[in-house]
Amino acid sequence: MNFFKRKEKILATPHQGDANSNDQVKYGFNNLTQHQFQLLLKYGKASANIGGFKSKAFIELPYGMVKKDVPALLKDDKVVEAINLIMECQYEKFELGNSSGNEVFGFLIWILSQYEFIKRIESRHLHSDPDPEMLAAGISRLNEFGEMSVIDNLANGKILEYDRIEALPYFKVYQKLKLDKIIREINKKYQKIIEEKTRKK
C-alpha cells in the first residue's frame, strides 16, 4: 500500500525473511484493505506517542528526513523503517518492539497528518506557478530531482553543503524558502513598476 498514492489493493503477502514484512504481520498491516485503511484514517486517533516516547512535530525535525527519507520509505510501504527513522533521530533508546499495534496505527495516522499540514503551508506560502518564459526554457526538467533541486539552490550549488542543509530543522528551511519567494515577488513587482515609469517618460 503506497501511503501517499492510496492505491486500491491489499497489502502484499510478506516474503519470508523480509524484516519489514514480518513487522507488518506483527502490527496487522498485511490484513488491511485500502478501504479499511481509509476508515482507520477517518476514525482513528492520531498520536505522536509511541513506545513510551513522544515525537516532536515534523517542522522541528531534520528537513532532509522529513522531505526525502521518510516519504521514500512510505512510498515503498516501509512503515516500520519510517517510524524507526523518525524516533531514532530523537531518542537513542527507542524500541518499536515496545509498541502495541494501536500505537503504531495511531502514530502512522499522526505522520500522515503532519504531511497534510506541511502540504497545506507549502501550498499556501511556497507554491508559485512558473512564468511562461521559464516553462518554455524547460524548468519542468528539474522535477526529476525533487527536493535535491531545492537543497542545491540553498547550498548555492555546493554539494558538500547538502548534508548541512538537510540536517537543519524543517521550519528553518521553510522560513528561508518563504523569505526567498517574497523577495522574488517584490523584485518582480518593483521591476514592473520601473518599466512602467520608463515607458511613460
Q: Which pLDDT does position 30 carry in this prediction? A: 60
pLDDT digits (tens, 9 = 90+) for 45-99: 999 999 999 999 999 999 999 999 999 999 998 999 999 999 999 999 999 988 9
Residue 117's pLDDT is 96
What is the per-residue pLDDT for 4? 53
The model's confidence at residue 9, banded by pLDDT at 50, 70 and 90, is very low
pLDDT, average across residues 20-42: 65
d(CA 60, CA 170): 6
Residue 187 CA, chain-centre distance (Å), reads 30
Domain boundaries along the sequence of the chain: 19-125, 132-200
Q: Which residue has the higher pLDDT, 41 or 173?
A: 173
- pLDDT category at 10 given cuts 50, 70, 90 is very low
In the chain, the N- to C-terminal Cα span, in Å, equals: 63
Task: Say what percent of the chain tops pLDDT 70.
Answer: 84
Q: Is the pLDDT of residue 199 over 90?
A: no
DSSP label at residue 69: I
Arithmetic mean of pLDDT over the chain: 84
Question: What is the four-CA torsion angle of 128, 133, 134, 140, rounded to 10 degrees?
Answer: 100
Tell me the pLDDT tens digit for each residue of 165-196. 999 999 999 999 999 999 999 999 999 899 88
Mean pLDDT of 6-22: 41
Q: How far is CA 18 from the centre of its chain?
A: 25
The mean pLDDT of 135-156, rounded to a whole number, is 84
The contacts of residue 83 (CB under 8 Å, 6+ apart) are 50, 96, 104, 107, 108, 111
pTM for the model: 0.80
